[in-house]
Amino acid sequence: MDVTAKDNRIHEPIIDTERLILRPLTQADAAVVQFLAGDKAIAATTLSIPHPYGAGVAEKWIKSIKGDIAEGKSVVFAITENNNGNLLGTIGLMINKEHDHAEMGYWIGKDYWGKGYCTEAAHAVLEYGFENLGLNRIFAHHFKGNNASGRIMRKIGMSHEGSSKGHIKKWDQYKDIENYGLIKEDYRQGEQNYRLTSMPFAERYSFI
């Protein structure tokens, strides 16, 4: 676990996967984040991404997540292609240290959908959460009908834990959500089924 009693800050890792590098976001990413997340299709199926995505929103968001990371409340990665550095989207964990659990959230720019990028990133972040952050449970939700997101959750080994009717008010409409989760013990047992790479765990992480 890289969170110590003295220093709650999460030491942000850089994670290598087969096609991706997951790295900390910086203010230099703001323009691309604004461009990609500004697509209405991203806001439509997420809880807190605004639309329109105005000037300064990305800068403010990146600043706020740095604060949360400093307090050990979350970790957020830029999802980038390892061959050219292009930023594809973001993925993160909102951490509750009292319960050693975290909620995973992600989005990928529309031009990059359907290439398995989010699955690859989600798998790595799941592993990071269990192996490095010492989490006991990682969970995620998606709006009913966002089947691509549900597919990712199942592909990384999460179980469907039920539905919550009308749980979210989005753009003045009540939305049903589907709940997924995985505990560390089950992750360990099923890990071989979901592992995407044979590269040893320790070789895929570096910390800044």
The closest alpha carbon to 121, from 18, 191, 25, belongs to 18
CB 156 within 8 A of CB 191: no
User: Of the ranges 2-10, 25-33, 50-58, 109-117, which one interacts with ligand COA (CB under 6 A)?
Assistant: 109-117
Q: Could you tell me the smallest distance in angstroms from the CB atom of residue 198 to ligand COA? A: 19
Q: Could you tell me the smallest distance in angstroms from the CB atom of residue 84 to ligand COA? A: 17
Q: Could you tell me the smallest distance in angstroms from the CB atom of residue 144 to ligand COA? A: 11
Binding residue for ligand COA (CB under 6 A) from 142, 157, 175, 187? 142
Check binding of 17 to ligand COA (CB under 6 A). no
Going by their DSSP bridges, the two strands 205-207 and 13-16 should be labelled as antiparallel
Q: Could you tell me the smallest distance in angstroms from the CB atom of residue 149 to ligand COA? A: 4
Q: Report the site for ligand COA in 21-80 (rule: CB under 6 A).
A: 42, 45-46
Burial of 192 (0-12, 13-18, 19+ CB in 10 A): exposed
CA distance 1 to 108: 28
Check binding of 180 to ligand COA (CB under 6 A). no
CA distance 91 to 33: 12
Select 74 or 149, whichever has its Cβ closest to ligand COA: 149
Going by their DSSP bridges, the two strands 101-108 and 137-143 should be labelled as parallel
Binding residue for ligand COA (CB under 6 A) from 27, 64, 147, 163? 147
CA distance 64 to 60: 6
Check binding of 164 to ligand COA (CB under 6 A). no
The residues binding ligand COA (CB under 6 A) are 42, 45-46, 106-108, 113-119, 142, 146-149, 151-152
